[in-house]
C-alpha cells in the first residue's frame, strides 16, 4: 500500500502500472487486494505472476477476479482446467510466458521438458500468449532466444509467431493510436521478412 501511494503521489509516464511476482508460493494474490484496488482507482494498469511454480490455477482466478488484473504473467496451470482455460480464452486474457521458466526446467525430465511444458498446450486451448524473458538474468534467456525456443523446442510455426506478436501488441500498455499504427507496421514487416526468407512450404502453421 505504501508503494502504491508513493507511485500515485509521484506519477511518472514511464511507469504504467504495478505487478507482483516470484513469491507466489507463500504470498498468494489475495494478500494484495487492497493495494490493487488503490492502484486501479489511480489509473494504474495491473498484472500478476500467477499459476507459476506449479501453484494452483485458483491463483490465476484470484488474480483475475479479485485483483482484476489486465494481464497474467505465466499462468501455466490453467491448462489443468480446460473449462477455466476456455473462460480465460473467451475473456481475451493475455498471458506472458517464459520458455526457460525455472520451475519446469527443474521438475520435468530433460527428454520430456519441451514435450510436457504447459506452454505447448496453451494456444491450443485458445489462450493468448506472448513469449518474453520476464527476468532475463534469472531465466537465462534473451528476447530473441525466447522466440527461437518457441519454434525449436515447442514446435510452433511462423503463423503462430505472427499471432504471438499480435497478442503482445493487443496487450501492450500504449495508446490506442500507437497500437493501431504498430499493428499495421509490424504485421507488414513480419510478412515482408517471411516472404523474403521462407519458402511457401514453411509459411503455414505447423
DSSP character string of 16-67? -EEEE-STTTTS-GGGGHHHHHHHHHTT-EEEEEES-TT--THHHHHHHHTS
CATH superfamily of 2-202: Metal-dependent hydrolases (3.20.20.140)
The conformation of residue 200, written as its DSSP 8-state character, comes to: G
Say if residues 120 and 131 touch (Cβ distance below 8 Å): no
In the prediction, which pLDDT does 25 show? 85
DSSP assigned state of 125 = G
What pTM was estimated for this model as a whole?
0.91
pLDDT along the chain (206 residues), means of 10: 96 91 87 97 95 90 96 95 96 95 89 94 97 85 94 95 96 94 96 88 46
Distances (CA, A) of 151 to 79, 118, 157, 159: 20, 15, 6, 11
Q: Which residues pair with 72 in a beta bridge?
A: 48, 95
Res 206: pLDDT: 41
**Distance of alpha carbon 199 from alpha carbon 3, whole angstroms:** 52
CA distance 17 to 45: 4
The residue extents of the domains of the chain are: 2-202
**Beta bridge mates, 204:** none
Distance CA 24, CA 21 (A): 7
Active site residues per annotation = 52
Residues 6 or more apart whose CB falls under 8 angstroms from that of 13 comprise none
Amino acid at each position: 500500500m505504501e508503494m502504491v501511494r508513493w507511485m500515485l503521489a509521484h506519477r511518472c509516464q514511464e511507469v504504467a502500472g504495478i505487478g507482483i511476482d516470484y513469491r507466489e508460493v507463500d504470498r498468494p494474490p489475495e494478500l494484495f487486494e487492497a493495494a490493487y484496488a488503490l492502484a486501479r482507482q489511480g489509473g494504474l494498469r495491473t498484472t500478476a505472476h500467477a499459476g507459476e511454480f506449479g501453484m494452483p490455477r485458483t491463483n490465476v482466478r484470484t488474480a483475475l477476479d479479485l485483483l482484476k488484473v489486465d494481464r497474467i504473467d505465466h499462468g501455466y496451470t490453467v491448462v489443468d482446467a480446460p473449462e477455466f482455460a476456455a473462460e480465460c480464452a473467451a475473456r481475451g486474457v493475455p498471458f506472458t510466458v517464459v520458455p526457460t521458466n525455472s520451475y519446469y526446467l527443474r521438475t520435468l525430465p530433460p527428454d520430456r521438458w519441451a514435450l510436457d511444458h504447459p506452454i505447448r498446450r496453451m494456444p491450443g486451448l485458445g489462450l493468448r500468449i506472448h513469449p518474453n524473458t520476464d527476468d532475463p538474468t534469472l531465466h537465462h534467456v534473451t528476447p530473441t532466444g525466447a522466440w527461437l525456443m518457441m519454434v525449436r523446442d515447442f514446435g510452433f510455426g511462423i503463423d503462430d509467431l505472427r499471432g504471438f506478436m499480435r497478442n503482445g501488441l493487443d496487450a501492450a500498455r500504449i495508446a490506442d493510436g500507437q497500437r493501431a499504427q504498430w499493428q499495421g507496421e509490424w504485421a507488414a514487416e513480419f510478412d515482408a521478412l517471411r516472404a523474403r526468407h521462407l519458402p511457401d512450404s514453411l509459411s503455414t502453421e505447423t
